Structure 1
Amino acid sequence: MLLKISIAMLAFAANSVLCRLALAEQQIDPMSFSLIRVCSGAAVLLLLYMLSGHKTKIRWNIKNGFFLALYIIAFSLAYLHIDAGVGALLLFGTVQLSMVGYGLCHGEKINMRRSLGLAIAILGILILLLPGASAPHLGYAAIMVLSGIGWAMYSIAGKNMQNPLASTLANFVIAIPFVLLAYIAFYPQSFVHIQGILLALLSGGLASSGAYVLWYSIVKQIDRVTASSVQLSVPCLAILGGVLFIGETLSWRIIISAVIVLVGIALVVFDKSGSNSAFKVKS
């Protein structure tokens, strides 16, 4: 389970780095990136579905497709003027709050150790946002928050999916018309270069499609609090990716904050007490 979670979180961080890299170097516009991403993801998922030995009946859910499209569109648009690490912080901070709030409203319990872990992880996020970090543009920060809400709703819906591959394929296909509408609306500002296309293909065909199938299989086995908490590792990974591939600055404050976040996640993930065990399989 931990290996699966690690792979999924690395893929989520890769999406931030790939998108920001493409937009920062003006290799593609946000809506073209989004459209290529969702179409390439759907194509890869269709291939995997056709090659799978057990083909579960595809069930179409417009709501899930809309949440996925909302996340993808807002994600790309926000990264026009937000660094990879800061964007990931806003995105998954929103996911954290949304999923925990939803879980608590629907009867999930948090014991003292897991509460402490959540508090420590959120403290690490807050330290990263203290003065000294690049303050994100307010409007684009709000757009990234909207993307986080979309991803949180998509993750919550994933707990009710019976087959991760078939469900993710259906969601990507349904998301295409929504993304296409956004592309048409922003068409006058569209442009593409080869590098931008390649980065969008990597994001959709590799870091999104396969990772989302994996994430769907994970969220069916863990509760919403754990699911939201482990995603707090993504900003740390995205910050590292931003330093390595985009040239963003790495400071001791960022390193210390990342360690604090990971310690908080560890307290939540490795809690094995009673019915709130982090990896207790749900019936």
Structure 2
Amino acid sequence: MRAGPLQLFLVTALAMTAFAANSILARLAMATGEAGPWSFTLIRIVSGALVLALIVSPRRAMTSGSWLSAAALFAYAAAFSLAYLSLAAGTGALILFALVQITMLGWSLVSGETLAPARWVGLLLALSGLVWLLLPGLEAPPLTGAVLMAGAGIAWGIYSLRGRGHASPTAQTAGNFLRAGAVAIGAAFPALYLTSEAMPSAHGFAYAVVSGAITSGLGYAIWYFALRSLTASLAGIAQLTVPAIAAAGGVVFLSEPVTLRFLGATALILGGVALASMARRHAAS
């Protein structure tokens, strides 16, 4: 069943807000010390797996997904949490989004796809915006956090490439979350011990559960529902709003400043990605 125009707009806006909220929730937990990165990652993945398994049925979740995709999902979630020990919400979302798109475009090049001139221009604009954002200076984000978030973006790009075009994306996501939960249990507990990370507070636990169960688990289910009625170009453009929403949330909930460098880099990165995406869809049509 396809959604009507108003329903489609509302569902898409809700999904994008959910994705941006993951950045805000992670930063809230890390900045305030309410939860550490390893406990946040573990709780987020397990709670997301439980919700998604209930949506598609536990049996279907257990027979879907793959361990390689689950490993990429865990790598994304762990690097994402570690990065938000130091990054602002909007900056982290922008770096994440940029690296996801650059990874997917890079794979197109490696696979032998010929890029249209407009796509090359868009890719170069996005890369120049990312370089500008990361250049040393008073407004530059912390290097460790930026590198970790770049790693998260690459991992999410790989995860997206592996799941592209699948007939049952929600079931695949549920299966991948279940397997990533097993990976998280095996990796997070030793990390918690080695780093002597404190147990999360009630607020930190709640942030992680909401991030996993609602803004990840339900967020992905809502997004896949919206994708049934969205064209590929509209879906790509919708995702351009996520860093902006995350930055606005960082201002409201964390009193984070928005610098001129961030605004300029955002314009270059999102404009470049939009140009590359639209050129790809135009060529495909």
Q: TM-score range by the shorter chain?
A: 0.7 to 0.9
Pair 1:60–1:116, CA change in 2 (3 A): closer
Equivalent residue, structure 2, for 1:26: 33
Tell me, yes or no, if the aligned pair for 1:230 and 1:265 is still in contact at 8 Å. Answer: no
The alignment status of 1:92 with 2:97, answered yes or no, reads: yes
Pair 1:257–1:7, CA change in 2 (3 A): farther
Structure 1: gaps (5+ residues):
278-283
Q: How does 1:97-136 map to 2 (within 5 A)?
A: 97-130=102-135, 131-136=137-142
C-alpha displacement at 1:271, in angstroms? 4.3
Q: How does 1:34-183 map to 2 (within 5 A)?
A: 34-50=41-57, 58-130=63-135, 131-138=137-144, 140-183=145-188
Distance 1:247 1:274 in 2: 40
C-alpha displacement at 1:21, in angstroms? 0.7
Distance 1:134 1:120 in 2: 19
CA RMSD of aligned residues (A): 3.2
Pair 1:215–1:106, CA change in 2 (3 A): farther
Distance 2:35 2:281 in 1: 49
SS of the residue corresponding to residue 255 of structure 2 reads coil
Counterpart pick for 1:199 among 187, 203, 207: 207
Which amino acid is 1:175 matched to? A
SS of the residue corresponding to residue 121 of structure 2 reads helix
Tell me, yes or no, if the aligned pair for 2:99 and 2:153 is still in contact at 8 Å. Answer: yes
Tell me, yes or no, if the aligned pair for 1:36 and 1:197 is still in contact at 8 Å. Answer: yes
Equivalent residue, structure 1, for 2:24: 17
Q: How does 1:234-253 map to 2 (within 5 A)?
A: 234-253=242-261
Tell me, yes or no, if the aligned pair for 2:61 and 2:175 is still in contact at 8 Å. Answer: no
Structure-2-length-normalised TM-score: 0.80
Equivalent residue, structure 2, for 1:281: none
Distance 1:169 1:93 in 2: 25
C-alpha displacement at 1:116, in angstroms? 3.0
Query: Cα deviation per residue 1:191-215 (whole Å; 9 max; x = unaligned)?
Result: 1111111111111111111333455
Distance 2:280 2:90 in 1: 31
Distance 1:79 1:88 in 2: 10
Distance 1:241 1:16 in 2: 9
Pair 1:230–1:129, CA change in 2 (3 A): farther
C-alpha displacement at 1:41, in angstroms? 0.7
Tell me whether 241-250 or 125-134 shows the greater mean CA deviation.
Answer: 125-134
Structure-1-length-normalised TM-score: 0.80
Structure 2: gaps (5+ residues):
none
Tell me, yes or no, if the aligned pair for 2:116 and 2:280 is still in contact at 8 Å. Answer: no
C-alpha displacement at 1:57, in angstroms? 8.8
Which amino acid is 1:135 matched to? P
Distance 1:273 1:155 in 2: 18
Pair 1:109–1:87, CA change in 2 (3 A): same
Pair 1:10–1:128, CA change in 2 (3 A): farther
Distance 1:143 1:56 in 2: 29
C-alpha displacement at 1:108, in angstroms? 3.2
SS of the residue corresponding to residue 144 of structure 1 reads helix
Tell me, yes or no, if the aligned pair for 2:125 and 2:272 is still in contact at 8 Å. Answer: yes
Matched residue count:
270
Distance 1:80 1:17 in 2: 12
Equivalent residue, structure 1, for 2:216: 208
